[in-house]
A = this chain, B = another copy of it.
């Protein structure tokens, strides 16, 4: 095996023309006699020619590829982001490099650097731990970057994000309206912007209502198991501080919420009668737990789609002059089911 790939030179020789002519024929550039064009295409087909995007990339300085970095490929939230990005890039003939960097800024940067070495035309980084730090890394090469759900103080980059604060706030308002008064927050230590915003909403909203905000604990990550394992300690905390159980728990996301719900049930507590539980994201399984999970729906897929669209648009514009980075905000919706 490992026969030599056929190149445009091979075709040129077989067709009795020069390689640039083959190149033009293949790409439909410049006018030429239909006869020779047809013949060249025919021969290329017969010889099983596949253009080398590597060589093409070297000369055109465009690889028609995009690099995507997420925190965790297996997290349903990121899965949908990836899916959205892939859908758009694939439709435009771009290839997608995927990398993960679980809660590790160094790893994230290494990933991006490696993509830059591969001359990706653009980058998408979700939940970046670096943010504007990319300014220094990217300014020399000018590769466009779109951030997803990353907090930046005066973003130098285009960014897509979901309005977590507003979402979380509405969830809290709903709980309060339902008469819940002792509302604990079960967070996620390793999340960046998302955790910050959601927790802040929890805190400020409760404070506005004069409700206590002293029972909260962060899971080490956002796995179901984490929520399950951490919840008992949250209850202990409530018992110690309040002298009684919480009547509602707001979780960082659906996974944590599902784990928490199971742990509550294990302790003989009824959801939502004894304690209400709310998640975040509205992953598919949220509608099928027992009780079904009330949560906040985040348009995950669309966010991926949009990020890719913004990036590809940037690539079209061929530096029409530096447009100011835009921030695109997505808002979700409250999904009330049985758990709250």
Chain A contact residues, CB within 8 Å of chain B:
1-3, 5-6, 48, 50-55, 57-58, 63, 65, 73-74, 76, 79-80, 82-83, 86, 90, 93, 95-100, 111, 113-119, 139-142, 223-225, 228, 258-259, 261-262, 265, 284-285, 287-290, 319, 322
CB A286 to nearest CB in B, in angstroms, measures: 10
| Contact A288 B228, beta carbon cutoff 8 Å | yes
Q: Which residues of B contact A141 (CB under 8 A)?
A: 2-3, 5, 50
CA distance A96 to B96 in the complex (A): 8
CB-defined A-B contacts under 8 Å, sample of 18 = A1-B139, A1-B319, A3-B142, A48-B140, A50-B117, A50-B141, A54-B54, A54-B63, A65-B118, A74-B76, A74-B83, A79-B79, A95-B97, A95-B118, A96-B99, A97-B97, A223-B284, A262-B288
Q: Which of A2, A86, A223 has the most CB of B within 10 A?
A: A2
CA distance A100 to B87 in the complex (A): 9
Q: Which residues of B contact A3 (CB under 8 A)?
A: 139-142
CB A70 to nearest CB in B, in angstroms, measures: 10
Can you name the residue of chain B whose Cβ is closest to the Cβ of A284? Answer: B224
| Contact A118 B288, beta carbon cutoff 8 Å | no
This chain: how many copies in the complex? 2
CB A58 to nearest CB in B, in angstroms, measures: 5
**A3-B141, A65-B118, A73-B82 known; 8 other A-B pairs, CB under 8 Å?**
A1-B319, A2-B141, A5-B141, A74-B76, A86-B99, A98-B98, A224-B285, A285-B285
| Contact B1 A322, beta carbon cutoff 8 Å | yes
CA distance A235 to B197 in the complex (A): 46
Q: Which residues of B contact A50 (CB under 8 A)?
A: 113, 116-117, 141
| Contact B114 A95, beta carbon cutoff 8 Å | yes
CA distance A202 to B71 in the complex (A): 39
| Contact A100 B73, beta carbon cutoff 8 Å | no
Can you name the residue of chain B whose Cβ is closest to the Cβ of A48? Answer: B140
CA distance A5 to B142 in the complex (A): 9
CA distance A228 to B288 in the complex (A): 9
CB A256 to nearest CB in B, in angstroms, measures: 11
Can you name the residue of chain B whose Cβ is closest to the Cβ of A75? Answer: B79
CA distance A35 to B21 in the complex (A): 49
Q: Which 10 A-B pairs have the closest CB atoms?
A: A2-B142, A1-B142, A290-B290, A74-B79, A98-B98, A262-B288, A53-B117, A73-B83, A53-B118, A54-B119
